[in-house]
Structure 1
Amino acid sequence: MTQKNLIDLQNVAKSFKAADGTARLVLDKVNFQLKEGEIVALLGKSGSGKSTMLRIMAGLIPADHGDMTYRDKTIFGPVAGIAMVFQSFALFPWLTVQQNVELGLEAQGVPAAERERRADEVLELIGLAGFGGALPRELSGGMKQRVGIARALVTNPDVLLMDEAFSALDVLTGETLRNDMLELWEESRIPTKGILVVSHNIEEAVMMADRIIILDSDPGRVRCEVKIDLPRPRDVESVEVRALIDEVYGLMTMRHPQEANAGDSATHHLGYRLPDTDISRIEGVLDLLADTPFNGRADLPQLAEEAELSDEELFPTYEALGLLGLAVIEKGDISLTNLGQRYVEADQANKQELFGQQLLTHVPLAAHIRRNLETEANGSLPEARLLELLEEFMKEDEAKRVLEIAIEWGRYGEVYEYDYHTGRLTLPELEEN
């Protein structure tokens, strides 16, 4: 029997204007369907437009192009059958738990007695019976998110959109709440027919979803889909689940063609968004990878567990290691390259020299800065000129972030120096005189 589409996006595109008025494409040609009876997880790196996509589905923001329908009806604005749970809880601190939960019903014009009855029922369902009179400040993070979920469920939504709803919680609390939600779903104790979960946690996605959609970045496009046929509840330690987690890690760390070309001397793509990671994290992961028990090769989920860092924190570091030729990632595993092994064994001066060489070879922005410094009569450049150049490719705040990363990496590799007082980059030789 064919499942009906709850939400259908066809060729959806969305741009936002940067501070200088130029448009930045966030989503492009996105095709996606959420069907009755399924949970879908949406994964993607920073810049993939996951949250933007959710807000378009919820009718909170319009798309620029494409068709968006809910049960075959065009989405023009907020849809009564669709509810959303946010990462930040989004509770009104001056309202009680009961009043926060009743807000959506009040907006729909539901009478007070009916609002109270339905709020009581959903608070009991979500494990908050007896907390209706409490204020948000009196609740733990997990309880606050339960209130956020209760506020969504009280409207009896057909579709539930969850925007990193568990990411602000500690691991144990997030896992407990996730399992409680799955239990309500499996036992049909909520009327919801479909759930879409935006997450940066691969294990969470594999444990919850019937399908995982992975988005590319800059702009966001559907890269691939992973179908999961395993029954719930799933055992995170089972061979099948571990294999799926490895598969998704492999897909998530697969380099985008833009990234692969970033170091190509023929391309020199200055608009490449450098991975948002710093030297200490790069070296920390390298040292961990080189040490026992990994000895130069590790399963990415195991490395994340050992590093005690989230996938969101580690993915940019993996990307940086691959970009600089210090490690390779394949099928959910990461391995030191010969150069990476030399790097971890080198003394500090040789580490910095190796880093600088790789930076000039594989990061066009760093090479561009160095070349321009060498052609300037005084060996000096104002950062404003570089920001202006980067803002042709990206928003103002992103341009600043990318330049900050390029400056940190370049200073460490002794490719150039930077004066924080004047905002100028200079050749290292000039700094020594």
Structure 2
Amino acid sequence: MSSSTAPTAAPAVIELRGVSKIFRTADHTDRAVLEGVDLTLRQGEIVAMLGKSGSGKSTLLRIMAGLVGTDRGEVRFRGERLAGTAEGIAMVFQSFALFPWLTVQQNVELGLEAQGVDKEERTRRAEAAIDMIGLSGFNSALPRELSGGMRQRVGIARAMVTEPDLLLMDEAFSALDVLTGETLRDEMLDLWEDGRTNIKCILIVSHNIEEAVMMADRIVILSSDPGRIRAEVRVPFARPRNRDSTQVRALIDEVYALMTSPAALGPRVPALAAASQIGYRLPDADISQMEAILDLLCESPFFGRADLPHLADEAGLTDDELLPACEALQLVQLATIERGDIIATPLGRTYYETEPPERKVLFGKQLLEHVALAAHIRRELEETEDGEIGEEHVLRELEAYLKPDEAERVLTLAIEWGRYGEIYEYSYNSGMLTLPREEQAEGTAGGEG
């Protein structure tokens, strides 16, 4: 397999034309998860797909696998319209998705059995795939007897044994420790480069920018709400690539800049829209992580401004941890992000220099000013007679904007952030949100007077 970018004249393996996917909210409003996606994957290329939460990466992958249908547009595989699953498309999942009661050999044979391949041929091909992926001698082992890396090798062997034209990899290395993930990624690239598989094309959905640059010939970046392709980056370097080379680092910086630019966040840019939209997808960021990043940013060697890849290395965080935390800092205006750099705002520097009790007050003030959901909860609490509302009430309001599981995730974050900022309290036993006790006491005293 050529190590250079596949030429645009290469035959198309799969084509998406105007693909859209809609979900219906609790108030019967249609909202797009994906909108107008055009994408062609060609023979001889590895393509990586990046995008934040809400960009529809996994939904798009499942549409390409034939597991989910489109609401608009079409998918063509080998020139024919795709309707349901198809032989020639295989998928590797983040969760390994092995049957725990089956041996390695039996798990790998499953896809062949579904295709009606006879027993003798299944055995031969499964043994060859297990050997190819470095698990020779473990044929009779059960998944529980294997490490995470070995279990993912089984998942890859199960996909490869069917000799697919298109291999889809959904965060395939993210559940593994860094070293195991890198080793398995490099072995996959060796198999690809040596032409030891019949795979024509690989699509990797990832949250790891460096992984995308090291593996792919082309990187596709999705915007969010709804998911659209907003940028494509060609990777012009032959494999294997040196992650420390100036050119590779520059490309990693470029992709970080694209991933954190306002356009990557879709029409609802945080600084503008979060103030008026309670359904904004809050980034999955922990308060302690946000504060640790801000503290690191304000100290030596950064002194208030850092290159995001450098900050990730210094903090020991993955992109999946770093980028949401940086977005959250930007949301509450403790930092700004420009061209792949994060910069502490004057308020962020003040926050860094402030003691924990005062930090909470400052954080609460920023929530009320810049996070619509937090301000909405606080306002509803102030308008009730007893200063309390149930989380189910807020959840129903959120489900007018978000799918139920996403609404629950966003509300959980808003509760954690609001409790830290002391703008409201929450009882895990009763599921009730309340005004802070001191304010309730003041209100009661005022009423008695």
Moved more, 385-394 or 146-155: 385-394
Query: Structure 1 residues 418, 152: CA separation in 2 closer, same or farther (over 3 Å shift)?
Result: closer
Query: Who is 1:309 aligned against?
Result: 317
Q: Among 1, 7, 19, which residue is 2:14 paired with? A: 7
Q: Does 1:325 align with 2:333?
A: yes
Q: Does 1:134 align with 2:141?
A: yes
Deviation readout 1:223-272 (Å, 9 max, x if unpaired):
2111111111000101111111111111111232544255559x611211
Cα pair 1:286 1:344 within 8 Å, conserved: yes
Determine the C-alpha separation between the residues in 1 that align with 2:417 and 2:259: 24
Q: Among 151, 159, 164, which residue is 1:144 paired with? A: 151
Q: Does 1:45 align with 2:58?
A: no
Query: Who is 1:34 aligned against?
Result: 41
Deviation readout 1:88-147 (Å, 9 max, x if unpaired):
111222222122111111221212221122122222221122222222222221111111
SS of the equivalent of 2:389 reads strand
Q: Does 1:372 align with 2:375?
A: no
TM-score when normalising by structure 2 = 0.91
Q: Among 195, 213, 224, which residue is 2:220 paired with? A: 213
Q: Does 1:166 align with 2:184?
A: no
Deviation readout 1:175-216 (Å, 9 max, x if unpaired):
111111111111111111111001111110000001101111
Determine the C-alpha separation between the residues in 1 that align with 2:133 and 2:391: 52
Residue identity in the other structure for 1:430: E
Query: Who is 2:439 aligned against?
Result: 430
Cα pair 1:12 1:27 within 8 Å, conserved: yes
Q: Does 1:84 align with 2:94?
A: no
Determine the C-alpha separation between the residues in 2 that align with 1:324 and 1:140: 41
1:218 deviation in Å?
Answer: 2.2
Residue identity in the other structure for 1:325: Q
Determine the C-alpha separation between the residues in 1 that align with 2:156 and 2:255: 27
Moved more, 196-205 or 368-377: 368-377
Q: Which runs of 5+ in 2 are unaligned?
A: 1-6, 443-449
Query: Who is 1:61 aligned against?
Result: 68
Moved more, 293-302 or 376-385: 376-385
Residue identity in the other structure for 2:123: E
1:410 deviation in Å?
Answer: 2.1
Q: Does 1:410 align with 2:418?
A: yes
Query: Structure 1 residues 400, 90: CA separation in 2 closer, same or farther (over 3 Å shift)?
Result: closer
Q: Does 1:350 align with 2:358?
A: yes
Cα pair 2:133 2:153 within 8 Å, conserved: yes
Q: How many residue pairs were aligned?
A: 432
Query: Who is 1:260 aligned against?
Result: 269
Q: Among 354, 369, 379, which residue is 1:361 paired with? A: 369
Query: Who is 2:283 aligned against?
Result: 275
Query: Structure 1 residues 137, 386: CA separation in 2 closer, same or farther (over 3 Å shift)?
Result: closer
SS of the equivalent of 1:218 reads coil
Determine the C-alpha separation between the residues in 2 that align with 1:203 and 1:305: 11
Query: Structure 1 residues 296, 118: CA separation in 2 closer, same or farther (over 3 Å shift)?
Result: same
1:170 deviation in Å?
Answer: 1.0
Determine the C-alpha separation between the residues in 2 that align with 1:21 and 1:368: 22
Determine the C-alpha separation between the residues in 2 that align with 1:394 and 1:262: 20
Residue identity in the other structure for 2:192: W
Determine the C-alpha separation between the residues in 2 that align with 1:352 and 1:346: 10
Residue identity in the other structure for 1:7: I
Q: Among 113, 116, 125, which residue is 1:106 paired with? A: 113
Query: Who is 1:118 aligned against?
Result: 125
Determine the C-alpha separation between the residues in 2 that align with 1:89 and 1:274: 28
Query: Structure 1 residues 382, 130: CA separation in 2 closer, same or farther (over 3 Å shift)?
Result: closer
Query: Structure 1 residues 351, 259: CA separation in 2 closer, same or farther (over 3 Å shift)?
Result: farther
Cα pair 1:161 1:195 within 8 Å, conserved: yes
Determine the C-alpha separation between the residues in 2 that align with 1:276 and 1:7: 33
Query: Who is 2:446 aligned against?
Result: none
